[in-house]
């Protein structure tokens, strides 16, 4: 458990399944939660419970709480490829939290970047977000991430087409 000025970051636990389920089945679709075919996943509670029991998931997925212990978001590093030294960042927070609790999210990002760059010695982390996730893309830009491209109309969901953006940060930007 990491206690910061604005946040508490801890490894994901079985008791967090409902919170994770919310992000998969809530009102918003998150680019970070699309499958390899770039389609939304809709796992069941039992599938998420099974996922959380996986040792690799537990060691790379974190729940972020505010100082009162309220669950605010999830952050993870997945798809780590040691040969090419990159990993994919997952940042899951409600849009309101980007506006109301930016310091909490910044601390979470700093934590996962330190893990990526200093502990795992990755050279690059990337994050995927849909064009509808404007607060996330603005946040990433403000945190020094570079826009690396966009797949146009890659997802049809909830009555419209969505573009999928890629944002990246390189280790040399982080020193």
Give the global pTM: 0.89
Spatial distance between the Cα atoms of 2 and 33, rounded to a whole number of angstroms: 25
Over residues 147-175, the pLDDT tens digits come to 999 999 989 888 889 999 999 999 875 44
Number of folded domains that form the chain: 1
The residue ranges of the chain whose pLDDT is under 70 are: 58, 173-175
Range of the domain at 63: 2-174
CATH of the domain at 94: 3.40.630.30
């Amino acid at each position: 458990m990491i206690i910061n000025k604005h946040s508490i970051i801890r490894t994901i636990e079985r008791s967090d399944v409902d919170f994770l389920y919310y992000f998969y089945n809530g009102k918003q679709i998150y680019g970070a939660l699309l499958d390899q075919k770039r389609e939304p996943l809709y796992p069941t509670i039992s599938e998420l419970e099974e996922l959380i029991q996986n040792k690799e998931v537990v060691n790379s997925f974190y729940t972020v709480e505010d100082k009162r212990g309220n669950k605010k978001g999830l952050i993870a590093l997945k798809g780590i490829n040691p040969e090419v030294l990159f990993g994919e960042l997952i940042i899951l927070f409600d849009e309101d939290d980007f506006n109301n609790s930016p310091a909490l999210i910044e601390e979470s990002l700093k934590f996962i970047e330190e893990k990526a760059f200093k502990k795992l010695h990755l050279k690059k982390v990337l994050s995927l977000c849909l064009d509808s996730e404007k607060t996330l893309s603005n946040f990433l830009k403000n945190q020094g991430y570079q826009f690396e491209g966009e797949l146009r109309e890659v997802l049809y969901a909830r009555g419209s087409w969505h573009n999928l953006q890629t944002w990246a940060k390189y280790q040399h930007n982080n020193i």
